[in-house]
């Protein structure tokens, strides 16, 4: 599916003309909240309206978009699930729709956030059950999703044993106290070294 097709451009032109007045104030507020310029937000919004004409980003639509970034790779759906869950965790907790503002804020944080913000997001990504602790099982699950995403481009070829061994190596580096879990503070300390 081509996100920037002619029908989409016509729809957007009509939509943009209809909201130009009220959209300026909203755009200024979003510029302050994110680290994007007005022009960058307009470009993001253009793509957003093509992909999400109803104004809401569902997980299935996110997976579809995410797969376009890895067209030659393996299966991106599991990794995209975890990324969606961690990017929009607060919205999902309250069963709220993911809006353009949520999307722009998440992209801004991931692309232009501080090191701490990016590490907080990475921790959330790996903390699948959201209990504030990373376990070996969670590292295995994310590793499995990454290997599936990379598909045939992983060399040497991998199987479940390879995934488990990789996850165990990563976890040993993180769990320096051999507690069987890693807290966010421990994760920050190790990643900041």
Domain residues of the chain, as ranges? 55-191
Q: How confident is the model at residue 173 (pLDDT cuts 50, 70, 90)?
A: very high
167 C-beta neighbours (distance < 10 Å), count? 21
8-state DSSP, 2? -
Helix axes 6-33, 38-51, angle to 10 degrees: 130
Q: For residue 126, is pLDDT > 80?
A: yes
CATH 1.10.238.10 applies to domain 55-191:
yes
Contact 66, 75 (CB under 8 A): no
d(CA 20, CA 49): 15
Q: What angle do CA 60, 102, 138 make, to 5 degrees?
A: 60
Average pLDDT, the chain: 86
Q: For residue 9, is pLDDT > 50?
A: no
pLDDT tens-digit series, residues 91-104? 999 999 999 999 99
Q: What is the mean pLDDT of residues 133-161?
A: 85
């Amino acid at each position: 599916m081509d996100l920037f097709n002619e029908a989409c451009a016509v729809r957007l032109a009509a939509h943009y003309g209809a909201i130009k007045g009220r959209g300026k104030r909203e755009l200024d507020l979003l510029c302050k909240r994110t680290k994007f310029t007005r022009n960058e937000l307009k470009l993001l919004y253009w793509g957003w309206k093509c992909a999400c004409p109803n104004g809401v980003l569902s997980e299935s639509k996110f997976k579809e978009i995410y797969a376009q970034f890895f067209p030659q790779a393996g299966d991106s759906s599991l990794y995209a699930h975890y990324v969606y869950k961690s990017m929009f965790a607060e919205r999902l907790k309250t069963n709220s729709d993911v809006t353009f503002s949520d999307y722009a804020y998440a992209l801004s944080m991931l692309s232009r956030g501080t090191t701490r913000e990016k590490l907080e997001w990475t921790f959330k990504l790996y903390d699948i059950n959201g209990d504030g602790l990373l376990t070996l099982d969670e590292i295995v699950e994310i590793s499995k999703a990454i290997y599936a995403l990379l598909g045939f481009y992983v060399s040497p070829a991998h199987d479940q044993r390879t995934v488990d061994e990789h996850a165990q190596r990563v976890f040993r580096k993180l769990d320096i106290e051999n507690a069987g879990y890693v807290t966010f503070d421990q994760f920050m300390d190790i990643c900041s070294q």
